[in-house]
């Protein structure tokens, strides 16, 4: 079986996508996640080019990676520098990775017009830079930038660049379709030509400007490259890089190429969504293999087909990539869904058909007001409890008020003070608590005031921590008067639960999600007390 090594550049090339900006903490988390999935090489960034990447590599040293090697990225030396004094190469070595990748020019026009040096000198720069890094006992990958465009323009020169890197000892020469415009047939032809001229192991790095990045990567593997570079979810500048989430399953399931284990492949969907979360981008539901819609059926013809034969309308079994099939719920199947979902959550409620139907009606009503229960298991469970006759909430909200004030200091005109304060009035049994708190922003103040009001009755509330707070504006076009959905994730140090609130008023939406979070915690606590 052919073996191919996977090289992830989400943290460097992927971060070039508009709207993506990973923190150092994000980057470290992503490295660990990619390591779990068995990615062979993880490009962490461009040390020296920005301070964040330099700091990242210094922190990454303490990661204990099981499968992956961390790679620092840089470029061939500056045309004006001496190789052993080049700031870029120095920064690269200071990252202290065992493997480095440097990019160099292979398109003649880029050499003369962008790098502004002679073709011969560029060959010299490439060779000298690779040779220098090899002399430091590093594993060196050479990215031949614009290789395929270069091959079209001046095939002889493009191949000379590959040869220069290979002769200087590059461990792999990665052919790049930097502008992303190549066709699969062009990829195949150019790789064959390189293979005839040089025997160095080859890699592929392509962009998706022609909507062909996955096809081009697979064509390269079929032509014999041994390293495939790409990003999770295809993140990257312009139209993105080759999407590893599409390439990996194609290699394993369709081309029979060895790269990661079956168990690692089954983490693919999780990894895709985890990294989307850290990139702060809504995961694209249409993504091949890993999207929430990738195995969804809506058309009546297809749904009746899959009821007769599961694989009739799916190209692979979604379990293989950790995804799951989904049938878009119709009004008739709603009741079954609720019962199924309650079972899935382990909610042991005596949920009869009629009650379940009532819950369906209520959910439909609430969803039309912007609530969404897919991601809010705890709020969903509270809905079920509230549908039970005789359910009583552990507290009752009477009033709240939030004030945010920014005013200038009387003494200094150029400084302002910002104050956020909330008051809350709640009732527990027959007692009314009316209290107030300040906070770092209005929702934080509300959160603190609520806990303060309840703490006398429920001292273990101190255990709750809000670990995630998300805001989504629905119908953004309604401007500041739009419906707002707030999702809150809470933790008591052991378990996590998620609640939802929705309103045209962000404060009220946050309040509803906060109140659900506390109510859910108290409910669960009572239950476990009753049991013990």
Within 214-233, the residues that bind a second copy by CB under 8 A are: 214-216, 218-219, 222
Q: Is 443 in the site for a second copy (CB under 8 A)?
A: yes
SS3 of the chain: helix, strand, coil, percent, to 5:
45, 20, 35
CB of 475: closest distance to a second copy in angstroms? 7
Burial class (CB in 10 A: 0-12, 13-18, 19+), 170: buried
CA distances to 237, 272, 421 from 249, in Å: 23, 13, 52
Q: Is 283 in the site for a second copy (CB under 8 A)?
A: no
Q: Is 406 in the site for a second copy (CB under 8 A)?
A: yes
Give the integer Cα–Cα distance in Å for 99 and 482: 50
Do residues 7 and 40 make contact, with C-beta atoms less than 8 angstroms apart? yes
Identify the residue among 122, 129, 243, 379 touching a second copy (CB under 8 A). Answer: 243
**Nearer Cβ to a second copy, position 406 or 529?**
406
From the list 39, 139, 55, the residue with the least C-alpha distance to 95 is 55
Q: Is 18 in the site for a second copy (CB under 8 A)?
A: yes
Window contacting a second copy (CB under 8 A); options: 91-99, 166-174, 326-334, 454-462:
326-334
CB of 463: closest distance to a second copy in angstroms? 14
Partners of 422 in the beta sheet? 402, 437
Do residues 269 and 323 make contact, with C-beta atoms less than 8 angstroms apart? yes
Q: Is 59 in the site for a second copy (CB under 8 A)?
A: no
Give the integer Cα–Cα distance in Å for 44 and 29: 12
**Nearer Cβ to a second copy, position 166 or 204?**
204
Q: Is 449 in the site for a second copy (CB under 8 A)?
A: no
Do residues 208 and 245 make contact, with C-beta atoms less than 8 angstroms apart? no
Binding mask 287-306 for a second copy (x = CB under 8 A): xxx-x-xxxxxxxxxx-xx-
Q: Is 402 in the site for a second copy (CB under 8 A)?
A: yes
Q: Is 81 in the site for a second copy (CB under 8 A)?
A: no
Q: Is 388 in the site for a second copy (CB under 8 A)?
A: no
Residue 319 DSSP class: G
Q: Which residues, 473 to 492, sit near a second copy by CB under 8 A?
A: 473-482, 484, 488
Q: Which residues, 130 to 169, sit near a second copy by CB under 8 A?
A: none
- Rg, the chain, Cα only: 28
3-state secondary structure of 104: strand
Give the chain's end-to-end CA distance (angstroms, integer): 56
Identify the residue among 61, 136, 467, 526 touching a second copy (CB under 8 A). Answer: 467
**Nearer Cβ to a second copy, position 200 or 512?**
512
Q: Is 447 in the site for a second copy (CB under 8 A)?
A: yes
Q: Is 526 in the site for a second copy (CB under 8 A)?
A: no
Q: Is 418 in the site for a second copy (CB under 8 A)?
A: yes
Give the integer Cα–Cα distance in Å for 217 and 461: 53
Give the integer Cα–Cα distance in Å for 134 and 92: 13
Residue 379 DSSP class: H
**Nearer Cβ to a second copy, position 120 or 328?**
328
The token duo for 516 is: 């659900």
Q: Is 110 in the site for a second copy (CB under 8 A)?
A: yes
Q: Is 374 in the site for a second copy (CB under 8 A)?
A: yes
Q: Is 313 in the site for a second copy (CB under 8 A)?
A: yes
Give the integer Cα–Cα distance in Å for 130 and 135: 9
The token duo for 125 is: 């720069």
Q: Is 21 in the site for a second copy (CB under 8 A)?
A: yes
Helices (H), 226-329: 244-249, 262-265, 268-279, 300-308
The token duo for 341 is: 């979902």
Do residues 159 and 193 make contact, with C-beta atoms less than 8 angstroms apart? yes
Identify the residue among 14, 48, 88, 180 touching a second copy (CB under 8 A). Answer: 180
Do residues 465 and 490 make contact, with C-beta atoms less than 8 angstroms apart? yes
- Residue 91 CB contacts under 8 Å (≥ 6 apart), including other chains: 47, 48, 49, 54, 74
Q: Is 457 in the site for a second copy (CB under 8 A)?
A: no
Q: Is 472 in the site for a second copy (CB under 8 A)?
A: yes
Residue in the structure block whose two tokens are 């008739």: 332
Identify the residue among 80, 196, 211, 344 touching a second copy (CB under 8 A). Answer: 211
CB of 181: closest distance to a second copy in angstroms? 3
**Nearer Cβ to a second copy, position 200 or 321?**
321
CB of 317: closest distance to a second copy in angstroms? 11
Q: Is 367 in the site for a second copy (CB under 8 A)?
A: yes
How open is the CA angle 232-238-244, to the nearest 5 degrees? 20
Identify the residue among 118, 121, 135, 185 touching a second copy (CB under 8 A). Answer: 185
Q: Is 469 in the site for a second copy (CB under 8 A)?
A: yes
**Nearer Cβ to a second copy, position 68 or 510?**
510
Q: Is 496 in the site for a second copy (CB under 8 A)?
A: no
Window contacting a second copy (CB under 8 A); options: 60-68, 195-203, 343-351, 466-474:
466-474
Do residues 271 and 279 make contact, with C-beta atoms less than 8 angstroms apart? no
**Nearer Cβ to a second copy, position 67 or 78?**
78
Q: Is 265 in the site for a second copy (CB under 8 A)?
A: no
Window contacting a second copy (CB under 8 A); options: 134-142, 179-187, 197-205, 268-276:
179-187
CB atoms within 10 A of CB 21: 11
Write the Ramachandran bin of 45: left for phi over 0, alpha for psi from -120 to 50, otherwise beta.
Answer: left
Q: Is 320 in the site for a second copy (CB under 8 A)?
A: no
Residue in the structure block whose two tokens are 């104050």: 419
3-state secondary structure of 383: helix
CB of 58: closest distance to a second copy in angstroms? 18
Residues in contact with a second copy, counted by CB under 8 A, come to a total of: 129
**Nearer Cβ to a second copy, position 46 or 458?**
46
């Amino acid at each position: 079986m052919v073996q191919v090594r996977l090289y992830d550049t989400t943290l460097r090339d992927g971060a070039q996508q508009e709207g993506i900006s990973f923190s150092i903490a994000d980057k470290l988390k992503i490295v660990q996640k990619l390591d779990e999935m068995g990615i062979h090489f993880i490009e962490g960034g461009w040390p020296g080019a920005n301070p964040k990447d330099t700091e990242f590599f210094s922190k990454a040293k303490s990661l204990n990676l099981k499968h992956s090697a961390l790679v620092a990225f840089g470029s061939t030396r500056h045309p004006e520098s001496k190789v052993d004094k080049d700031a870029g190469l120095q920064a690269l070595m200071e990252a202290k990775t065992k493997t480095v990748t440097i990019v160099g020019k292979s398109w003649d026009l880029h050499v003369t017009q962008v790098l502004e040096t002679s073709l011969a000198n560029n060959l010299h720069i490439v060779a000298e830079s690779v040779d220098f890094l090899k002399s430091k006992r590093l594993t060196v990958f050479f990215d031949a930038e614009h290789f395929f465009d270069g091959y079209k323009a001046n095939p002889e020169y493009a191949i000379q660049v590959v040869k220069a890197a290979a002769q200087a000892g590059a461990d792999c020469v990665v052919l790049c379709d930097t502008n992303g415009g190549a066709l699969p047939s062009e990829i195949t032809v150019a790789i064959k030509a390189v293979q005839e001229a040089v025997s160095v192991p080859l890699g592929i790095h392509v962009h998706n400007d022609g909507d062909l990045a996955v096809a081009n990567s697979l064509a390269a593997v079929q032509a014999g490259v041994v390293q495939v570079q790409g990003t999770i979810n295809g993140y990257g500048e312009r139209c993105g890089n080759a999407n590893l989430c599409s390439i990996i399953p194609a290699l394993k399931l369709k081309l029979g190429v060895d790269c990661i284990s079956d168990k690692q492949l089954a983490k693919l969907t999780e990894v895709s969504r985890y990294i989307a979360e850290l990139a702060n981008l809504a995961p694209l539901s249409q993504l091949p293999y890993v999207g929430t819609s990738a195995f969804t059926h809506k058309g009546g013809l297809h749904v009746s087909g899959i009821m007769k034969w599961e694989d009739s309308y799916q190209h692979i079994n979604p379990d293989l990539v950790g995804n799951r099939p989904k049938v878009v719920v119709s009004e008739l199947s709603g009741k079954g869904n609720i019962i199924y979902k309650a079972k899935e959550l382990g909610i042991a409620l005596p949920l009869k058909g009629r009650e379940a139907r009532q819950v369906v009606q209520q959910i439909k009503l609430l969803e039309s007001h912007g609530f969404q229960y897919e991601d809010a298991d705890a709020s969903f469970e509270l809905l079920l409890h509230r549908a039970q006759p005789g359910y009583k909430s552990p507290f009752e909200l009477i009033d709240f008020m939030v004030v945010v004030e920014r005013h200038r200091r009387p003494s200094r005109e150029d400084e302002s003070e910002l104050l956020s304060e909330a008051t809350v009035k709640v009732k527990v049994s027959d007692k009314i608590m009316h209290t107030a708190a300040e906070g770092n922003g209005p929702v934080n103040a509300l959160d603190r005031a609520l806990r303060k009001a309840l703490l006398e009755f429920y001292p273990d509330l101190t255990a709750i921590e809000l670990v995630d707070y998300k805001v989504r504006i629905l119908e953004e076009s309604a401007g500041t008067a739009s419906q707002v959905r707030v999702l809150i994730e809470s933790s008591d140090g052991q378990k996590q639960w998620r609640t939802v609130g929705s309103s045209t008023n962000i404060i009220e939406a946050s309040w509803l999600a906060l109140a659900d979070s506390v109510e859910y915690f108290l409910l669960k606590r009572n239950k476990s007390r009753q049991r013990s």
